[in-house]
Each structure stands twice: as C-alpha cells, then as structure tokens.
Structure 1
Amino acid sequence: MFYETATNDHGLKFNPFKAIVAPRPIGWISTLDADGKPNLAPYSFFNAVSDAPPMVMFSSSGYKDTVSNVEATGEFVCNLVSFALRDAMNASSAPLPHGESEFERAGLEMAACKLVKAPRVAAAPAALECKVLQVIRPSDLDGTPTNSWIVLGQVVAVHIDDACLKDGRLDMTGVQHLSRLGYMDYAAVTEVFELARPKA
C-alpha cells in the first residue's frame, strides 16, 4: 500500500505511522510547576539525541503542564519505565486537573534529585536529571506552527539502582525496559543479543 500523509487516506482502521516508528522508549517526565507542585507524565515521542554531552528530547502533542513546567523552571527528570512499573506509568497518563498529583494517582513515591529540584520516581530503575536547552514549536512545510512542542535537555546527573547493574552494565532483561509500539501496544525487553560492528 501507499498513501500521502497530507490526506492520510491509508484506508486502515488505525493510523499506522506510530506503529511504523517503533519501538519507542518512554520518557516518563517528572517536573515541578512554578509553585513547586509535582507533575509526572509519560511521553512516547522520546529519545536520546547525543552522548557527548548526553542529551535527550521529548515531544508533547499540545501545550501541556509538562511543557509549561519546563519553561517555568528550566528542569525535568526522565525516569526509566520498567515492566514492573507499567500500570503506574499508564495511571500517570490520565488527564488530571492542573495541580492534582500524578504521583499520588499512580501510588508512586517521589525521591529527591541532586542537581535539579524536580523529583524523580523512587521505584524507577534509573533516572536522568536534565536541564532544559531548548523548547521548540516546529512549523510544518507550509510554515504553519504545529500543535507540538519539542523539549531538548542536557543530562546533568544519572541515578541507577545498583540492583539493576550486572557485570558493569544495566541489566536490560532484568529491568525489562518498556517501550511503546503504537496503538495501545507496548513491549518489554526480554531478550538481548550482541552484534559486533564491522571493522574498516
């Protein structure tokens, strides 16, 4: 099949775009608002974009509390979502009224960070403390501003649960890192294999 995205006339019951660009890691973003109230929300348009210095990005469809908070404070935390935290992550995605705590809704404890004021998810196997570099509202090919905001942050500190380390590595099959597959589908990392890069 073939279709153009301008018309989106794919004829399918569900839009395939998000399923094609998958699996996607989940950026479970915790922030504080200007008054110091915590917020927690998962974003599946998320990834690492640089390792030197370490940088991550996430994209929000609509100007939500998370984007407002990062613009107000210049900080956020990205918490790793394990298979064990899948229900809590999903609960935190509920559209709660402004100021109502997703941490409480999901039954999650907060833990203090070292270099940013925003809290992290205490039960997360790992967390990345981030300082905001840019908040971008992209325009489309016609120059029309979209209803999406891209947040680019530099990782300034990393938390890792020692129980999740094995032989000097993050134990991916032990953590069972969760990813988004599109639609309402998710996957957990249960198998890992290595491929050596070819030499010149």
Structure 2
Amino acid sequence: MATEMATELKQELMRVRREARELYSRDQVEEAVAKVAIKLAEDYSERFPVFVTIMNGGLVFAGQLLTRLDIPLEVDYLHASRYLGETSGGDVQWIVTPTANLEGRDVVILDDILDVGSTLLSIIEACKAQGAASVKTCVLVDKVHDRKAQPGLKADYTALEAEDLYLFGMGMDYKGYWRNAPGIFAVEEA
C-alpha cells in the first residue's frame, strides 16, 4: 500500500508541476533579490544585524540574499509554521527558536512569502520580547489580497508581489515538495 500511495503522490506532484503557471522565472527572481540586497546593504552597512531565516520556506531566499550582502552580519534561523505540509494554514506552531541573543540587536526576519501574516506577526513579537533593538521583515513574495492579519500589513523589504494564488518554488512548497522549483509558480486548479 505504501508504494501505491507513493506512486499516486508522485503522479500528483508531477501533474501539479507540469500544469503550473510560471509567474516569475529564476532570472526574474534573482534580479529582484539583487535589488533587495542592495537596499539592505545600504540600510545595515553601519550596524551588526542578525538575519533570522524562517525555515523551511525562507531557506532558498536566504541562500540567494545573504551571499549578496557584503556586510558583517550574523545568521540564525527559526521554525514556526501555520501549514506543516498542508495547503491551508492553522494556528502558529513553534518548532525551533533562534539561538542568537537578540537583546539590543537589529533583527531582519527572512521568509519566503507574506500571505496572511499571522506567523510573521508572531515572530516579530517574539523577537521584540527578547529585547531586539529593531525588527524588520524581508520576504521574497508578498501575496496581494485583503485577508492580511492586520490591515495594510507589508514587509519592510519585498522582492516580488504575486496574485492571490497557491504558489510554490524558490522555497515555497506544494504539500512539502517543489521548494526547489526554479522560479515561482502558481498551482492551476483542476
């Protein structure tokens, strides 16, 4: 039975990838990330920030962004999620918290996507509670819709905007898969 389920999952994943609509190519994503890196380098050139990546989605974005920042910085990560492999979110669940001392630090939170923003708002509050001097947010994609956790919620730094579709690629997943897809894709509904 396990083999049959794996075969069905693989078929679904391949169908989703094949039928997905590309919103941004790898080159377009890299160009947008480069622009964000320039702005971050300007804003943090005189500070010693700690960049905290939200796992697992922020991993690809962080890898592309951080190597473009020729400034002294510390890197840490956390894992908090509303999705945990599902395609719709529930309550925020904390899995791993940052180990860096955030007290008095300038913190930049890196994530793949700003959708509703509940997870991001929880993380901002947690960083402030640890005494961070400042907390800024930086996302690869901001989904444009009116369901934000707070009206007008925006990241401080945004590489790209996308319509309100289920997205995958460049760190964003479809049922835990396709974070590695080379671009940003929208799932086409069946």
Measured against the shorter chain, the TM-score band is under 0.3
Write 1 or 2 for the structure with the bigger share of strand.
1
TM-score (norm 1): 0.26
Structure whose alpha-carbon radius of gyration is higher = 1
Write 1 or 2 for the structure with the bigger share of helix.
2
